Structure 1
Amino acid sequence: MLIPAALVGLFCLIYSAATLDSDTISRDICTKNITMCPRCDKYCDYWNLNESCMYSKIQHFIDNPATIFFAVFMSFWSTLYLELWKRYSAEITHRWGLTGFDLQAEPPRPEYLLRLANAKKKNSPSIILSFTLAFFWTLIALAVVLGVVVYRMSYMTSDLFYKDKTSYRIYVVPVTAALMNLVFIFVLNSIYDRLAGWLTEMELQRTQTEFDDSLALKIYMFQFVNYYSSIFYVAFFKGKFVGYPSKYNKIFGYRQEECNPGGCLMELTIQLAIIMVGNQAVNTILEMVVPLLMKMYQTFKITTGLEKADAEEDTLITCNQWTEDYKLSHFESHSLFSEYLEMVLQYGFVTIFVTAFPLAPLFALINNVLEMRLDAKKFIKYYRRPVPQRVKNIGVWYPILAIVGRIAVVSNAFIIAFSSHFIPKLVYMLKVSEDHTDEGFLEFTLATFNTSDFPSRTAPVMPSFNASTCRYPEYRNPPNVADPALKYKRPLIYWHILAARLAFIVVYQNLVAFVMTVVEWTIPDVSRKLNDRIKREAYRTNETIIKYETERAREKHSQARKRDSLISGITIYHDANGDISEDQPRSNRSTIYYDSGDNG
């Protein structure tokens, strides 16, 4: 299913490359001499907008009309994928004879029976405590993201404090922040995985399926926040509540990060690419290196005699296949759980933020092709043969995928509405531009600030040049507005743009939701061919049972008639002394049966 998504993503990239020369925003940023306001207070200097020329060109590869089409396509694709998966899952369930499998028929877990003997109360309080602690750890993940945000704000100040004149800081901050996020993600994951297992054991889940579903729900809830929170920050919060030069909204004394005049989508792409590709690369390496090292260690223990049998047991040293298999690592159920989790997280990257990273399906496809071969080698060469477990479907993972698909629709709608220039440019062309083109749109998005209005100790201390005015990316009135009370206030066009953004979100969500509902309705969960096969097999089964019962009944009836025809009886009337007499009560009658056949 990733193949068509990857091809459409490549098409969007080719379209953006073909239309780069006609992009007015990147052209104006590179050619116009516009003085921008300082990025920090006191120590930062004025800077020229053309410093972000390359950044704006790269931004066009993400923010262009093809992005809207790709977002709608991926919403349709995610629904189609889930519906086709349900059909394929039904085929597998039927093929493996699990159609009538019931979870209640699954035997209890040994750990459940062991702990149940000592349990005095129901496990409801344990479940509440378990999920409360899981929620607390999600807050810790959010706190880590907040720390990285503070680092980003402080880094911008310190970088410009040393008067670096190059523009590499535009890329250094998002790259280093994304790498820090990736490191924190792996550290928190290693801690939380053990905690989640302990919390789930505390819940007293009866069957292994119930245990796995509860564990998967807690771990994915944490992983969702751990992986996606920093990306959500860049997509929906960065640069949205900055303020303006005479009244900045500060956090811990630091000014909030501002988006480049070209937008924040480029930084969102950097963040997404590093976390997604980096996570896949690290997981692939760990999945291959760790089993190999474990096999080498196991072989080393056996060959050197470090692992010895008990003294009471007889030791048989042979060199056949089972002794070689003993050197392999034991396959645990958690190993398969990590494979599911990796695919579900990848599904989130591909769908939730695909507007900002059209190449995400392509990278996912490349990763999965390699993953299939590497997993095949891993399961065959490094692990012992696993013990199969009967399950009807993939369990709680499917509802998680369905919820992620719904979140993706809302996320892409907000990214297009608030993080791209699509809506502001559309409003500009319809209401502001006289010729209804996007010429002059860059100037429209930049507000003007009078440098004499800087608050005390916020203006540049040692500016490289004097500027009477500077520009900043906002929709605000200029300093020379007719009514002084409206100075630096929101103009009417800002509210028009906000209304257009909200209207787009409503229309986009309802349109996509309608398409998704139609897809779900038109594609049945079980294919007609499989449904006919199930009915035909049920019919044949019933016919076989009826035929067998009919033959069995006929055989019993035939045996009964044969017995009646071969057996006759005579009634003898006798008294209490045994003398034969016909004048006796019925209690003194005896019937003697004899075989009247040839052997009588």
Structure 2
Amino acid sequence: MLIPASVVGLACFLYGVFTLSSHVPVREMCADRGSLLMCPLCDNGCEYWRLQDSCTQAKLSYLFDNGATVFFVVFMSVWGAAFLELWKRYSARITYQWDLSGFDTLEENARPEYLARLSKIKKRDIELIQQDTSSDSVPFWKVKLPYSMLSCSVILLLVLLAVAAVVGVIVYRMSVRATLALSNDEMSSFIPLITSTTAALLNLLCILLFNMVYTRLAVYLTDMEMPRTQTEYDDSLTLKMYLLQFVNCYSSIFYIAFFKGKFVGRPGKYNLFLNYQQEECGAGGCFLELSIQLAIIMVGKQAFGALSELALPYAMRLWSHLSLIRGTPKDARLPKEPWERDYTLPDMGTTGLFQEYLEMILQYGFVTVFVAAFPLAPLFALLNNTLEIRLDALKLLGSYRRPVGVRVRDIGIWYRIMDSLGKLAVLTNAVIIAFTSDLVPRMYYRWKVSPEGSLEGFVDFSLSYFDVRDYGENVRHGNTSGLLGARYCRYSDHRTPPWVENQYKRTAQYWEILVWKFAFVVIFENLIATLMTLIRWVIPDVPKSIREKIREDNKLTNEIIILQELRRRHAIDPVPV
């Protein structure tokens, strides 16, 4: 399924590469209009700069934010809906093949850990609890409610901790950008790229560190809640872990996509956060930084996971072997039979596949929820999964004991999470295209402002004027040699110029573009929702061949029941079945 998505994503990226030289806004920023004098990025210490300093950033941004982005997002929305429908068909097929069509979770036995702890709470033998089904439940007021409230409180605390880490990285961005802006060297034009890359790496480090803590705490809290069956245990653990991982992995991306640069202010009146000036998007927008953030977190997390899966089982196997032979006489260390050596391997346990599912669902989120910002995400996911298949094979066959099979009807709560991600992806991609990229402003300029219906002059249209004399007395900029006696500087916004009465106010064009953005979100969402509904209607959940086999099985079962009842009615011994 990732192959067509990878091909289309790569084609959209190559479209940006081949049309880069003909894109008018990039040409304007890198050529004649690139000499426009831009206002300092901060009120104290920063210098005046030229628009052409953002030439490299604008070129890189166009590779991901081009005319093919909308088509790719529509394609991926349809792909996501088709993937879920095809998964349901595949699940129905293997459910029938493994004779699990009539399996009910109520048939599951209680977990041994559950019974052992319940016997301590009720001070009764496990055998008596198993015989008396009415006592096979946890006291609600004494155990269930307190531990559930404790679990919710700890989860909320961990979510706030992840958000605090994101805020810390934001402060790091602002401080590093302000520090680099004070330097007067040739690297000044690469300040946005340096800040974005280092901050993304710092975010990746925080994510990897928090993952180690989250896993152990989630398992501990789930054990405290005492789920009765393995399905209940897995669903509870899955919900906790995915909620924590969702905030941990996606919060920084949500910040860049939906909040960064939206509440900055204007030159001479910037809004502050913790005594730091808020980050603003450059002349090329925040789309490039969003792409960098997504690429580093996704690819870095996959690379770390692959290395861990390759090294950790061998380390555990070596540790188990050393622990076994420790203290054993030399002459006793004779070659053992294969099954004896296999016994020294680590056990996967009941949640051995949990991390595998979690990794794939997080990857599914990267591929769908934020695919508008990084069309190469399906390609990297395909490459990762190609390697992952071999690593999982080596791990399952050679690094762990043979796992014990458990009867389950489906993948449980994981499917509902994927379905929710598919619906969330429609909204997030629509908002990213409308509010983070320049697609809607370019459409507005081409259709309503430009007399030729082209993008000629779009860069000048997207910049406002500021009178340098309106800076306060307390504002001290760095080297002002770039000013060269100019009276006005430019900044990215739609505000009235300083020579009118209501200076620096939002223009009518700003509000019209905002209306266009909201209209785009509504139209895009309804279009994708219609397509997804059509796909669900066209593709049945159960293949026709499986439905016919189930119908035949039910018919045969009914015939056997009728035959048995007729024989019983006529006092004839039932025939064996």
TM norm structure 1: 0.88
Q: State, as a whole percentage, how many aligned pairs show the same letter.
A: 48
- Equivalent residues of 2:43, 2:267 under 8 A apart: no
Deviation at 1:316, TM superposition (A): 12
Q: Is 1:9–1:359's contact at 8 Å kept on the other side of the alignment?
A: yes
> Does the CA contact (< 8 Å) of 1:425 and 1:441 recur in 2?
yes
Aligned position for 1:228: 250
1:449 match: secondary structure: strand
Whole-angstrom CA distance in 2 between matches of 1:294 and 1:94: 37
Asked whether the 8 Å contact 1:131–1:218 carries over to 2, the reply is no
Distance in 2 between residues matched to 1:292 and 1:79, nearest whole Å: 39
Shift of 1:120: 4.7
Partner of 1:564: none
SS of the counterpart of 1:389? coil
> 1:114 Cα deviation (Å)?
2.5
**SS of corresponding position for 1:215:** helix
Q: Provide Cα deviations, 1:27-63, integer angstroms capped at 9, x if missing partner.
A: 1110121111111222111111111212111111111
Contact 1:477 1:491 in 2 (8 A): yes
Partner of 1:410: 427
Preserved contact between residue 257 and residue 286 of structure 2 (Cα < 8 Å)? yes
| SS, match of residue 556 in structure 1 | coil
Rate the CA distance shift 1:180–1:552 in 2: closer, same or farther, 3 A.
same
Distance 1:63 1:545, change over 3 A: same
Residue segments in structure 2 that go unaligned for 5+ positions in a row: 122-137
Assess, with a 3 A threshold, how the Cα gap between structure 1 residues 316 and 360 changes in structure 2: closer, same or farther.
closer
Distance in 1 between residues matched to 2:503 and 2:328, nearest whole Å: 81
Aligned residue number for residue 294 of structure 1? 316
Matched, 1:11 2:11: yes
Q: Give the alignment of 1:341-420 within 5 angstroms.
A: 341-420=358-437
Partner of 2:555: 539
| d(CA) in 2 for partners of 1:104, 1:222 | 29
Residue 522 (structure 1) aligned with residue 538 (structure 2) = yes
The aligned counterpart of 1:78 is 80
SS of structure 1 residue aligned to 2:21: coil
Match of 2:299 in 1: 277
* Pairwise CA distance, 1:462: 3.2
What corresponds to 1:47 in structure 2? 49
1:159 aligned onto 2:184 = no
Match of 1:56 among 52, 55, 58: 58
| Stretch of structure 1 that moved more, 159-168 or 85-94 | 159-168
Partner amino acid, structure 2, of 1:276: M
Q: 2:42, 2:267 within 8 Å by CA — same for their partners in 1?
A: no
- Superposition pairs of residues 208-219 of structure 1, within 5 angstroms: 208-219=230-241
Report the alpha carbon displacement of residue 533 of structure 1 after superposing the two structures with TM: 1.1
Whole-angstrom distance in 2 between the partners of 1:68 and 1:462: 42
Range 161-170 or range 464-473, more displaced = 161-170
Matching residue's letter, 1:17: V
Work out whether residues 475 and 491 of structure 1, in 8 Å CA contact, stay in contact via their aligned partners in 2. yes
Deviation at 1:545, TM superposition (A): 5.0
Match of 1:140 among 161, 165, 180: 161
> Residues 557 and 439 (structure 1 numbering): CA distance in 2 closer, same or farther, change over 3 Å?
closer
The alignment status of 1:477 with 2:496, answered yes or no, reads yes
2:433 is paired with a residue of what secondary structure?
A: helix
> What's the secondary structure of 2:336's corresponding residue?
coil
Bigger relative contact order, structure 1 or 2 (CA pairs below 8 A, ≥6 apart): 2
Question: For residue 99 of structure 2, what is the amino acid of its counterpart?
Answer: G
For residue 528 of structure 1, what is the amino acid of its counterpart? K
SS at match of 1:333: coil
* 1-structure distance, mates of 2:380, 2:374: 10
Between 297-306 and 110-119, report the one with greater CA deviation. Answer: 297-306
Partner in structure 2 of residue 504 of structure 1: 520
Q: CA deviation at 1:253?
A: 1.4
Question: Cα deviations across residues 355-384 of structure 1 (Å, max 9, x unaligned)?
Answer: 000000000011001101110011101000
1:282-329: CA deviations, max 9, x gaps? Answer: 011101101011112222333454699xxxxxx997721211212312
1:461 positional shift: 4.2
Distance 2:229 2:352 in 1: 18
More helix as a share of residues: 2
| SS state at 1:334 partner | coil
Deviations along 1:511-544, one digit per CA (max 9) or x if unpaired, are: 1111111111222211111100111122234345
Q: CA deviation at 1:547?
A: 5.2
Counterpart Cα distance in 1 of 2:414 and 2:329: 39
Assess if the C-alpha contact under 8 Å between 2:38 and 2:51 holds in 1: yes
Q: Which amino acid counterpart does residue 211 of structure 1 have in structure 2?
A: Y
Partner of 1:205: 227
Residue type matched to 1:80 in 2?
Answer: A
> Match of 2:116, as an amino acid?
L
> Which residue of structure 2 lines up, in the alignment, with residue 68 of structure 1?
70
> Structure 1, residues 122-169: CA drift from partner, whole Å, max 9, x if none?
413422331232122111101110010011001011112232332232
Indicate the structure (1 or 2) with the bigger Cα radius of gyration.
1
- CA 1:385/1:307 → structure 2, altered by over 3 Å: closer, same or farther? farther
**Contact preservation (8 Å) 1:181, 1:230:** yes
Match of 1:562 in 2: none
User: If the length of structure 2 is used for normalisation, what is the TM-score?
Assistant: 0.91
Map of 2:209 onto structure 1: 187
1:461, 1:319 → 2: CA distance?
75
The more displaced of 446-455 and 462-471 is 462-471
Distance, in Å, in 2 between the alignment partners of 1:350 and 1:487 is: 44
2: CA distance between counterparts of 1:318 and 1:59? 61
Following superposition, the deviation at residue 204 of structure 1 comes to 2.1
The C-alpha deviation readout for 1:570-597, integer Å capped at 9, x for no partner, is xxxxxxxxxxxxxxxxxxxxxxxxxxxx
CA distance in 2, matches of 1:146, 1:461: 28
Look up the match of 1:488.
504
| C-alpha distance in structure 2 between counterparts of 1:319 and 1:140, whole Å | 49
User: Aligned runs of 1:97-136 on 2, under 5 Å?
Assistant: 97-117=99-119, 118=121, 120-122=139-141, 123-136=144-157
| Letter of the structure 2 residue corresponding to residue 101 of structure 1 | F
